[in-house]
Structure 1
Amino acid sequence: MHIASFWLMALGALALSGCKGTADTAAPAATPVRVAAAFAGPAAPPIHTNGLLLTRDEIRLSFKMGGVIRQLAVREGERVREGQKLAEIELTEVNAQVEQARQAHEKATRDVDRGERLYADQVISLEQLQDLRTQSAVSAAALKSAQFNSSYSSIVAPRDGTVLRRLAEERELVAAGAPVLVLGAQDKGFVVRAGIADREIVQIKLHDAAQVRLDALPGVTLTGKVSEIASAADPASGLFNIDVQLDATSQPLKSGLVAKLHIVPAAALAAERVYVPIAAIVEGNQRKATVFVLDQGHARRRDVEIAFIDGESVALLNGIDVDEQVVTDGALYLEDGEAVAVQPAGGQT
């Protein structure tokens, strides 16, 4: 019995030894990785900045004459139509001035008529008659001025638009020309106004394309073009203001929304650079870096030089050609020349 057990144990040990030898001599499995193709892009980095959405034309409305506000017929955010009365001041003083000018003009007219008869009878001189005519002309001009001021004793919407700000309230005393309402005209559309640093403003030209994203409308991308570029910096911020005119859209836009601008200068589109995903960069030292390139089932280490980083992509000065496959997921665990197994996108590596 003991002899039979010994031989069974010996055979088992030999079998285990044979299996271990087979495992040791098996070829190592290929490392699972994911790859992405290098692609061409602008030669210079895009410009990213934040700005405010504004109506293209903001009209500050005021009374030509000072006075007490009798009525403010609109609220902030209210849409108005061209010709709609928005505000009015008390007319007692205005009407009194018009009446005084009318009475003075009527008296001057009567004086001229009487002077014409007296001159015909040679009672007054020609010079005296001319003085009466001058007084009549002056009074007529004063009447026109008073009537003109009376016509501007109310504020009327010059265009269709939206009331952006209400700067006064009813029964307030306002000076002549002091803004009472700010109207955003709808017919000129919207712009995004932003401040740009000096190293970026020199790259931007009129009509450069821009993309706009609003925090209030997540997932929506608007398009537009640079419409205005300041020729001098803002003394307060040191930045150069630009306006981006938005293309027509059906989105519910409101003045004052925070916007994120993405501008690709036209000069950057004149040339191209090769881009790779940032995940393909294995190690770097300043502008020097390393990536792995897929070569017939093997990962080959290759040195590259970085031009700039744009979000999730890296623009290269050299080292990679367009459409070459670079390793992204799994690149950190590779050795030069190691066999790899490319995994489909979306799965687990």
Structure 2
Amino acid sequence: MTRLSSVLSSLLLSASLLVIAGCDSTADNQQPVELARVRVAEAVMGPAAPSIRTNGLLANEDEIRLSFKVGGVIRRLSVTEGEQVRKGQKLAEIEQAEIDAQVEQASQAYEKARRDLERGDRLYADKVISLEQLQDLRTQLAVNEAALSSAKFNWSYAAIVAPHDGTVLRRLAEERELVQAGAPILVLGAKDKGFVVRAGLADREIVQVKLGDEAQIRLDALPGKTLTGKVTEVSGAADTASGMFGIEVALDPTDLPLKSGLVAKLTIIPSTAKAGERVYVPISAIVEGSGRTARVFVLDQKHARRRDIEVAFIEGESVALHAGLQAGEQVITDGAQYLEDGEEVTLAEPVAANRE
């Protein structure tokens, strides 16, 4: 009996040692759970209404169409498109033989009328002609004097002179070409008046825009550059051809090499956007949505908490919210698509900025 007890004791001891060894082996092989690595962004406040985006064309604010006062053959056209000109510089001339003849004709008619009046004064003094005849001679002199002034005025406009410093934007005629009176010959952009962007807006957009609204302008020709300006003109009626309402945005002064005709991308910040504020989050924080309802994950200490939100509108790479978040809360962006509600997470290192 004693021997059996000893054997059982040995077996129990061996089994215990095997169990302990097995437990130690399991503990040694167990790997620590790796937490999901995420990045976060802060919910911030922004405008209550979305910006208005459209495309337009850059133009000189003051574009002057220059022409001759009288018709004729162009004798000289001394400028080309894109050329810089100074105020008072002669840009074009018309052949003056015909207009010189008109001035001479008017001058001779005036001199004859003046002599006729002098003779009429003497005849009236001698009672040879009546007062009515004398008054007719005075009227004829006044008529001829006016005709001479008109001819001289036309003669003074037989040349086109630059009214301002500026740039020749378009040249609409050539030398030796016959042009009609008032037909545009050159289009001059005044240098000291600055530039504007002209664009068209739809009816649902034009009602939000007011004079003085701020705008940002980007040009394809100058990537990376952002210009600023203000709305200075808002059309009161739609264009019959396009159905769009025209606006004009005056650019703030800049030293950039701007040219009339450049394509501009216009972002207008309507005054209604400043009437209040909304909470904004990055669009990358949205994990799922249906209509105006969506979901994000909010960082609660070390855990990701799913939160329902209500979307107001999308603005570029951000989403404006009606409700669901407060400014300052941390929303998860990178890694949000793979999380479960309440899951413990760890923050990844920030993305390093690119260095040239």
The alignment's TM-score, normalised by the length of structure 2, stands at 0.91
Equivalent residue for 2:39, pick from 31, 34, 37: 34
Say if 2:259 is the partner of 1:251: no
Equivalent residue for 1:152, pick from 153, 157, 175: 157
1:176-223 Cα distance to aligned partner (Å, 9 max, x none): 001010011112110001101111111111111111111111111111
The whole-number CA distance in structure 1 between the counterparts of 2:81 and 2:28 is 80
Equivalent residue for 2:26, pick from 18, 21, 25: 21
In the other structure, the counterpart of 1:140 is 145
Written as runs of structure 1 = structure 2, the 5 A alignment for 1:286-297 is 286-297=291-302
Say if 2:115 is the partner of 1:104: no
1:274-298 Cα distance to aligned partner (Å, 9 max, x none): 0000110000111111100000100
The whole-number CA distance in structure 2 between the counterparts of 1:19 and 1:95 is 119
Letter matched to residue 205 of structure 1: K
1:66-108 Cα distance to aligned partner (Å, 9 max, x none): 0000010110001111111111100000000000000011111
In the other structure, the counterpart of 2:338 is 333
Equivalent residue for 1:267, pick from 272, 291, 297: 272
In the other structure, the counterpart of 2:185 is 180
Structure 2 alignment gaps of length 5 or more: 1-17
Equivalent residue for 2:48, pick from 25, 43, 61: 43
The whole-number CA distance in structure 1 between the counterparts of 2:222 and 2:198 is 18
Q: Percent identity?
A: 68
1:217-241 Cα distance to aligned partner (Å, 9 max, x none): 1111111000000000111111111
Letter matched to residue 156 of structure 1: V
Relative to 1, partners in 2 of residues 1:23 and 1:130: Cα closer, same or farther, differing over 3 Å? Answer: farther
Say if 2:234 is the partner of 1:225: no
Equivalent residue for 2:63, pick from 55, 58, 67: 58
In the other structure, the counterpart of 2:84 is 79
Highest CA radius of gyration, 1 or 2?
2
Residue 15 of structure 1 and its aligned partner are, at CA, apart by 11
Letter matched to residue 295 of structure 1: D
Letter matched to residue 241 of structure 1: G
The whole-number CA distance in structure 2 between the counterparts of 1:297 and 1:225 is 46
Partner SS, residue 289 of structure 1: strand
Relative to 1, partners in 2 of residues 1:127 and 1:284: Cα closer, same or farther, differing over 3 Å? Answer: same
The whole-number CA distance in structure 2 between the counterparts of 1:323 and 1:25 is 39
Residue 168 of structure 1 and its aligned partner are, at CA, apart by 0.4
Residue 123 of structure 1 and its aligned partner are, at CA, apart by 1.3
Moved more, 175-184 or 115-124: 115-124
In the other structure, the counterpart of 2:5 is none
Structure 1 alignment gaps of length 5 or more: 1-12
Q: Flag as ranges the 4+ runs of structure 1 deviating above 4 A.
A: 13-20, 23-27
In the other structure, the counterpart of 1:5 is none
Alignment size in residue pairs = 335
RMSD: 1.7
